[in-house]
Amino acid sequence: MSGALVASPASRPETMSLALLAPLWRFARGLFWLAVVLAVAEGLIVLFGVRPYYVPRPSVVIGAILATPTPYVQGFLRTLSETLLGFASGAVFGIGIGVLFFRARALRELVFPIFIVSQTIPVIAFGALVVLWFGNTLVAKAAISFYLTFFPVTVNTLLGLEGVDPRQEALMRSFGASRFKLLTHLQLPSALPQIFVALRLASALALVGALVGEWFGDTVGLGVLLLQGMYNENVVAIWAAIAVCALLGTGLYAAVSMIEKWLVFWGAEQ
Amino acid sequence: MSATADFAAALPRVLGSRTVQRGVLGMVLLVAVWEGVARGFALPAYTLPAVSAILVNIVDSWAVLAPAASYTLTESLLGYGVGSLIGIALAGLITLVPRARAAILPVATAINSVPVVAWSPLILLWFGIGIASKVVMVALAVSFTVFLSALAGFDRVDRRAADLMRSFGAGRLSVLWRLRLPTALPLIAAGMRVSTVRAIIVAIVTEMLGAYDGIGWVIYQAVLQVDFVRVWSAIFVASAISLAFFGLVSFCERRLIFWT
């Protein structure tokens, strides 16, 4: 960023286009390495004669997806919408509760232990109950994603808000900033890097929640494809579903990271 | 990926001393409201059974729940041990042989890019529905978290301290054992503490897809028989073992890592 600020007006367009090209370049490089790894895997499997029951050749898996793309595309979209719904609501709720806990210490001390205990409940048992409560709907799966998402976001929001430099708060107070202004102009921006650490983690958890939720008798979704593959002992189908899951998970993670880069432009927490 | 470390560091801080009383009060309130709502509105068991009914059911079906709990705990502990060892060993290997980083890190990241539960159908087909598949799944889930925190810990060492030891003729192995491991232990322990709850949940999730025994199997059977009080009993027991396991690991951590 400092480079862009110091750059003369003449060189600015160049910097801009470079900044836009960098992610594309990284994406292309990632694809290239993925292709290399898949080719090496293919070669090793043929070379050592690994039985397809354990690891089928990548070309066979890709072929299986391309032969019948409809269930994979539908499953991808279905699981994606469940995950996004759960993730978004969990993030909003988590940040809101984090702010609330930050403001009301007594409330936090009353409720936080319950939150901690709630996280020890096996998600799949919860899944059975949620499907019973909400019916076999998209909302039921999103509810499980939500349940896994909100806790890390709450914890890190709280941590970020508490880590704000008290001198900065005192300075803003002395200029007459209201509590709301303090929150929106100082505390939340300072907490953003921490919040995004949790959001990156939560994006993976939200996907887990959606997948597990689909195991309770759904008909469309990546979790369903995994289960069908297992019941039919169709290892190629399982690998195909795993590959699509990896694609979805990596895509979500990358999307959250990109939003983070854009929003937390002053440098992210590692 | 310091999310796990932050996460772990947050718990003791957020759980201060005076807070314990309020925490207990909160729990009591929750149980009271739960009991009141379930009894007051006479909710059917499949919506929400009363806490008292669940506790009675736990006592009644103790003969089923206790062996199932110990079965699940065995699987989780085995997988937890194996996974932690693999994670620390891989991180140590990368630190000793920096060249290995280029090979191990991408493979580990690729495996981890798949949500862990997505592996379970495959692992069940490979290792059968006995105890082995659960141990593998738990090890898979635990090893990556421990690996990342161990790697961060080993890398955290002050270069000058390592250089000093080298200049006195210490080998790589000696630097790892005497300097890097003690420095990394707090982070490794934090990663292991976070993994405890995860280990038990993954074991239960895998059990529900296929098992001979265990909490997950009990839950699955209860769902099939539409016995939702039994589901809640199993959930309570699972939650209790998770908390006990978490408490035990935290206790060991405080005892062993006295220098932080």
**What CATH number has the domain bearing residue A115?**
1.10.3720.10
Tell me the two tokens of residue A97.
């509760």
What does the alpha-carbon distance between residue B175 and residue B173 come to, in Å, rounded to a whole number?
A: 5
Q: Is residue A128 part of a domain?
A: yes
* Domain shared by A19 and A78, yes or no: no
| SS3 state at B170 | coil
A33 inside domain: yes
Q: What is the mean predicted confidence (pLDDT) over B227-248?
A: 90
Q: Which residue of chain B has the CA closest to A121?
A: B239
Query: Which of A264, A112, A122 has the alpha carbon at shortest distance from A198?
Result: A264
Q: Which residues of A touch B27 (CB under 8 A)?
A: 113-114, 117
Q: Give residue A20's pLDDT band: very low, low, confident or very high (50, 70, 90).
A: low
- Would residue A228 count as lying in a domain? yes
Q: Looking at the domain assignment, is residue A155 inside a domain? A: yes
Residue type, A242: I
Reference A74, options A63, A65, A86; nearest CA is A65
- Indicate the residue among A24, A50, A76 that finishes a domain: A50
With cut-offs at 50, 70 and 90, classify the pLDDT of residue B84: very high
Q: Rounded mean pLDDT of chain B?
A: 85
B11 pLDDT higher than 70: no
Of A111-125, A162-176, B26-40, B60-74, the range with the lowest mean pLDDT is: A111-125
pLDDT of residue B14: 52
Chain B residues near residue A227 by CB distance under 8 angstroms: 121, 209
Q: Do B3 and A124 touch (CB under 8 A)?
A: no
Are residues A221 and A158 both part of a single domain?
Answer: yes
Least confident range from B3-12, B33-42, B77-86, B210-219: namely B3-12
Token pair belonging to B6: 């932050």
Band (pLDDT 50/70/90 cuts) for residue A80 is very high
Whole-number percent of chain A with pLDDT over 70: 91
Q: Considering the domain boundaries, does residue A268 fall inside one?
A: no
Q: How confident is the model at residue B223 (pLDDT cuts 50, 70, 90)?
A: confident
What average pLDDT does this structure show over A248-256?
A: 90
Q: For an interface test with B, which of A120, A126, A197, A256 has the most B Cβ atoms less than 10 Å from its Cβ? A: A120
Q: Check pLDDT > 90 for residue A90.
A: yes
Give the model's pLDDT for residue B87: 93
Query: Chain A residues with CB inside 8 Å of B30's CB?
Result: 114
Q: Is B15 left (phi over 0), alpha (psi -120 to 50) or beta?
A: beta
Same domain, A36 and A71: no
pLDDT at A12 over 70: no
Q: Is residue A217 part of a domain?
A: yes
d(CA B135, CA B47): 34
Burial state string for B207-239 with b = 16 or more CB within 10 A and e = fewer than 16 = bbbbbebbbbbbbbbbbeeebbbbbbbbbbbbb
- Give chain A's mean pLDDT: 83
Tell me what the mean pLDDT of segment A193-201 comes to. Answer: 88
Residue A13 above 70 pLDDT? no
Confidence band for A91, pLDDT divided at 50, 70 and 90: very high
Asked if pLDDT for residue A7 goes beyond 80, the answer is no
Q: Which domain holds residue A160?
A: 66-263
DSSP state of B180: I
pLDDT of B186 > 60? The answer is: yes
Tell me B17's DSSP state. S
| B234 → closest Cβ in A110, A125, A156 | A125
Polymer length of chain B: 260
Res B2: pLDDT: 45
3-class DSSP state for residue B156?
A: coil
Task: Give the mean model confidence (pLDDT) for residues A120-133.
Answer: 79
Please check whether residue A144 is in contact with residue A118, taking contact to mean a CB–CB distance below 8 angstroms.
no
Q: Which residues of B touch A117 (CB under 8 A)?
A: 27, 239, 243
Query: For position A84, what pLDDT does the model report?
Result: 95
Asked if B231 and A129 come within 8 Å (Cβ–Cβ), the reply is yes
Contact B14 A112 (CB under 8 A): yes
- Angle at Cα A207 formed by Cα A204 and Cα A210, nearest 5°? 155
Cα-Cα end-to-end distance for chain A: 18
Q: What is the pTM of this model?
A: 0.82
A92 and A33, same domain (yes or no): no
Reported as a pLDDT band with limits 50, 70 and 90, residue B194 is confident
As for how many domains chain A has, the answer is 2
Q: Which residues contact B208 (CB under 8 A, 6 or more apart)?
A: A124, A215, B216, B217, B219, B220
DSSP structure string for chain A: -HHHHHS-GGGHHHHHHHHHHHHHHHHHHHHHHHHHHHHHHHHHHHHHT--TTT---HHHHHHHHHHSHHHHHHHHHHHHHHHHHHHHHHHHHHHHHHHHHHH-HHHHHHHHHHHHHHTTS-HHHHHHHHHHHH-SSHHHHHHHHHHHHHHHHHHHHHHHHHTS-HHHHHHHHHTT--HHHHIIIIIHHHHHHHHHHHHHHHHHHHHHHHHHHTTTT-SSSHHHHHHHHHHTT-HHHHHHHHHHHHHHHHHHHHHHHHHHHHHSTT----
Buried b or exposed e, range B153-172, using 16+ CB within 10 angstroms:
bbeebeeeebeebeeeebee
What is the structure's pLDDT at A110? Answer: 84
Higher pLDDT, A24 or A146: A146
Residue A4's pLDDT is 41
Whole-number percent of chain B with pLDDT over 70 = 92
Kindly identify which residue of chain A lies nearest to residue B236, measuring between CA atoms: A121
* Token pair for B159: 């270069």
CA dihedral angle for residue B148, residue B154, residue B160, residue B165, rounded to 10 degrees: -160
**Candidate from B2, B122, B124 with C-beta closest to A197:** B2
Work out the pLDDT band at B34, boundaries 50, 70, 90: confident
pLDDT at A135: 80
Tokens of B149: 């925190």
Mean pLDDT of the region B180-201: 86
B115 has a pLDDT exceeding 60: yes
- More confident call, A85 vs B38: A85
> b/e string for B46-57 if b means 16 or more Cβ within 10 A?
eebbbbebbeeb
The C-alpha atoms of residue B3 and residue A205 are separated, in whole angstroms, by: 13
> What does the pLDDT average to over B26-33?
87
> Does A156 contact B200 at a Cβ distance shorter than 8 Å?
no
How far, CA to CA in Å, does B86 sit from each of B27, B82, B201, B257? 38, 6, 20, 21
In a shared domain, residues A41 and A72: no
The predicted pLDDT at position A82 comes to 92
d(C-alpha B46, C-alpha B62), whole Å: 21
For testing contact with chain B, the best of A102, A110, A123, A207 (most B CBs within 10 A): A110
Tell me the mean pLDDT in the region B184-206: 88
Rounded average pLDDT over B75-103: 89
Specify if A185 maps to a domain. yes
If asked whether residues A19 and A153 sit together in one domain, one would say no
What are the backbone dihedrals phi and psi of residue B150, each rounded to the nearest 5 degrees, phi first? -65, -40
CA–CA separation, A112 vs A94, rounded Å? Answer: 12
Question: Is residue A138 less than 8 Å (CB to CB) from chain B?
Answer: no
Residue-level pLDDT at A6? 40
CB B168 within 8 A of CB B84: no
- Identify whether residues A154 and A196 lie together within a single domain: yes
- pLDDT given at position A5: 40
Taking 50 as the threshold, does the pLDDT of residue A160 lie above it?
Answer: yes
Residue A153 in this model has a pLDDT that exceeds 80? yes
Question: Chain-centre distance of CA A141, in angstroms?
Answer: 15
| Closest alpha carbon within chain B to A117 | B239
In a domain, residue A10? The reply is no
- Residues A30, A114: one domain? no
Residue A170 has pLDDT above 50, yes or no: yes
Residue A245 forms contact with B (CB below 8 Å): yes
Of all residues in chain B, the one with the smallest CA distance to A120 is: B239
Q: Which residues of A touch B244 (CB under 8 A)?
A: none
At B140-178, the pLDDT tens digits run: 999 988 998 888 888 877 778 878 888 888 787 787 787
Same domain, A33 and A94: no
Position A19 scores a pLDDT of: 61
Q: Which of A59-73, B58-72, B161-175, B184-198 has the lowest mean pLDDT?
A: B161-175
Q: Hey, of B208, B224, B246, B250, which one would you mutate to test binding to chain A, going by the most A CBs within 10 A of its CB?
A: B208
Note whether B122 contacts A238, CB cutoff 8 Å: yes
A25 and A81 share one domain: no
Q: How far is B170 from chain A (nearest CA, A)?
A: 32
Task: Looking at the structure, tell me whether residues A70 and A34 fall in a common domain.
Answer: no
Closest alpha carbon to A82 in B220, B137, B115, B207: B115
Q: Are residues A102 and A76 in the same domain?
A: yes
- Please write the tens of the pLDDT for every residue from B37-48: 888 888 887 778
Share of chain B above pLDDT 90, in %: 26
**Cα R_g (chain B), whole angstroms:** 22
